[in-house]
Structure 1
Amino acid sequence: MIAEIQRQGSGGTARFERHLKHPVDSVWAYLTENDKLASWFPELRVDSLREGGVILFDMQNGTYETMTILDMVLHAVLEYTWDKDKVRFELSPEQDGTRLVLIETISEWTDHTPRDLAGWHVCLDVIEALLDGRTIESRKDRWNIWYKQYVEAGERARG
């Protein structure tokens, strides 16, 4: 399901929600353990998992972007800077698994924003597939499908 998008001023928010049939500890591991993190977002690496800690983004040119962890509650909340934006993961146990909510706070909506949102959508698909023991044949094909939908959703949210 597509993220819920709200546009406010020049920015807004995108809220993704997934219900995963796996325990919170397993989902948390994919967000915070570097070996598992690399399987769905190979450019990211947790350097220091604590509030005020650091997540590194490998720019693939020998440099790293430093992202600061703004909020961290073990097995429940992980929020960090994402350039000028913020990304927040919230996990909560459910009867048959975990509710995962990803909220991106967008400081300025640009032509690149739908690309990021399609990327987060596919990343969540990949996390779910990995937890389920499945593989996704083509992340790029999925991204292309979702990108078009996020362009349209962003336009609708603008009104």
Structure 2
Amino acid sequence: MQAVIEKEGKGIIARFDRQLHHSVEKVWGALTENDKLEKWMSNLEIKDLRKDGNIKFNFNDGSGESFDMKIRDFRESAVLDFEWGDGWVRFEISTEKDGCSLVLKESITPVNDHTSKDLAGWHVCLDMLSDLLDGQYQDFPMDEWEKWHKEYTAAVKRLDG
């Protein structure tokens, strides 16, 4: 399901909702344990998991370059919120009847040509996370990303219309 995108100031807030048939603990582990995290979002590496701690973003382009992003909000097994460029990314997990709800919110400011790429990336990564939780691992599916990139490019353009 495509993210809900709303204008906010000079940017946007995108909200991805996923219902997962897994426990909060299992999903939290996939978000915060590096051996699992690298299988669905290989750029991220948890360095200091706490409020005001940090997450490393690795470029994974052979350069060895990376940078740290500050954890803005943290509640064990419930909230992980960190800097993301000029915006932020926030994961919220809550128990549901048949598993849990995972909400990813992203604040993007300013909106530019990279915005739809970023949204498509998170969309595909969340699909990869869901697959991983179900016991399936796959390399990043560029064909899926390209499909979602077109969808998000159109969605972002509609906001200006």
TM-score, normalised with respect to structure 2: 0.94
Asked if residue 20 in structure 1 is aligned to residue 20 in structure 2, the reply is yes
Runs of 4 or more, structure 1, over 3 Å off, are 135-138
Q: Is the CA contact 1:87–1:105 (under 8 Å) kept in the aligned structure 2?
A: yes
Match of 1:72 among 74, 79, 86: 74
Corresponding residue of 2:121: 119
**Per-residue Cα deviation, 1:100-147 (whole angstroms, up to 9, x for no partner):** 000001121001000000000000000000111224476101101100
More displaced stretch, 130-139 vs 30-39: 130-139
Q: Is the CA contact 1:52–1:70 (under 8 Å) kept in the aligned structure 2?
A: yes
Q: Tell me: CA distance 1:37–1:137, structure 2 relative to 1, closer, same or farther (3 Å).
A: closer
Distance 1:137 1:49 in 2: 26
Three-state SS of the structure 2 residue aligned to 1:5 is strand
Q: Tell me: CA distance 1:65–1:133, structure 2 relative to 1, closer, same or farther (3 Å).
A: same
Q: How does 1:71-110 map to 2 (within 5 A)?
A: 71-110=73-112
Q: Is the CA contact 1:7–1:158 (under 8 Å) kept in the aligned structure 2?
A: no
Asked if residue 151 in structure 1 is aligned to residue 149 in structure 2, the reply is no
Three-state SS of the structure 2 residue aligned to 1:88 is strand
| Unmatched 5+ stretches in structure 2 | none
Q: CA RMSD in A?
A: 1.2
Distance 1:94 1:149 in 2: 29
Distance 1:76 1:106 in 2: 22
Q: Tell me: CA distance 1:137–1:47, structure 2 relative to 1, closer, same or farther (3 Å).
A: closer
| Unmatched 5+ stretches in structure 1 | none
Match of 2:133 among 131, 134, 142: 131
Distance 2:30 2:153 in 1: 28
Distance 2:141 2:30 in 1: 17
**Per-residue Cα deviation, 1:75-102 (whole angstroms, up to 9, x for no partner):** 0000000111100000000010010000
TM-superposed deviation, 1:157? 2.2
Distance 2:8 2:41 in 1: 28
Distance 1:36 1:136 in 2: 13
